[in-house]
Amino acid sequence: MGRAQQLMPFDRNVPMDLDLLAVTDELRARLDIGERMVPSAFGPDVRVVTYRPRDAHEPLPAVLHLHGGAFCLLRPEDFSYDDAATALAHRAMVVAVDYRLAPEHAFPAGLDDCYAVLQWMAASAADLAIDAERIVVTGASAGGALAAAVCLRARDTNGPHIAAQALRIPVLDDRLDSPSMRTYRKNDGFSGRAAEGMWLHYLGEDRDVSATSAYAAPARADSLAGLPPAIIVTHQHDPLRDEGILFAMRLLADGNPVELHNVPGAYHGAPPLDPAALRRSEQWFRAALGQALRPTEQADA
């Protein structure tokens, strides 16, 4: 057994102890839910799952959703209820990416898949009936790392326009040296030890820690200037808390608009859970996401 498995064992055949809900019949009746294979210049075609309000015929804002799961677990369908609810609540098209998972597909495979889908969304906006100026990239946990990295890559390569990045309890720094990471080293649920195993899965056990790419760990970027406006949610008892807060402060210092909210009493998103704290986190995030998806003239009103 490798060091990564010792720190963060995983078995994809064992159900995760998370409150992941399937789409209800009521939601399904109001949505067009589809599956597509998106061509990629960086590797094989990428599978996506799309959600769109059935009665929407006008160009809609779009959410590029990059799911969490420590870079090595879960699929878009595990978050289908949330994606369906987002599409209906914000009258938006949601595109959930089935990116390649580590350790079989280590960095940058997953990021390549996510970036290819962003390129496809921008290039196919007319066919998809979406507004290319209102694409918001969002992700939680490891999905937050991918979302932030997609924004960095788009900036650095003069890529598609991104209206906002919405990061929930994001993974951002592989150095694992923040006060919260040390405090919650042996936390119940997701811990600092689990975070160490997660990075070993994603970057390899023989990696050179001094040479980590900012596209893997966005906190490694020398500059965060010129990035999309950010929405960042952190949780009090999460080992990742401080890297999210520090990333928000750096974004602000580099001239980017940022909304930051730290939720008291909340854990990472795995047991133990505080239902009331999670509801507050969800309500705040949905409100901020809705603001980011509005047309510019409405958002400024």
Residue 259 dihedral angles phi and psi, to the nearest 5°: -110, 125
Q: Which residues are catalytic?
A: 141, 238, 268
DSSP 78-117: GGHHHHHHHHHHTT-EEEEEE---TTTT-TTHHHHHHHHH
pLDDT level of residue 297 (50, 70, 90 thresholds): low
- Contact of 161 with 125, CB cutoff 8 Å: no
pLDDT score of 186 = 84
Q: What is the pLDDT of residues 242-273, one digit of tens each?
A: 999 999 999 999 999 999 999 998 888 766 67
46: which strand partners?
Answer: 38
Mean pLDDT of the chain: 90
pLDDT level of residue 191 (50, 70, 90 thresholds): confident
The alpha carbon of 201 is separated from its chain's Cα centroid by a whole number of angstroms, namely 18
Better pLDDT: 200 or 6: 200
Q: What is the pLDDT of residues 129-185, one digit of tens each?
A: 999 999 999 999 999 999 999 999 999 999 999 999 999 999 999 999 999 999 988
- Hey, what domains does the chain have and what are their CATH numbers? 3-299 (3.40.50.1820)
pTM higher than 0.85 for the full model? yes
Burial of 55 (0-12, 13-18, 19+ CB in 10 A): exposed
pLDDT reading at 5 higher than 80: no
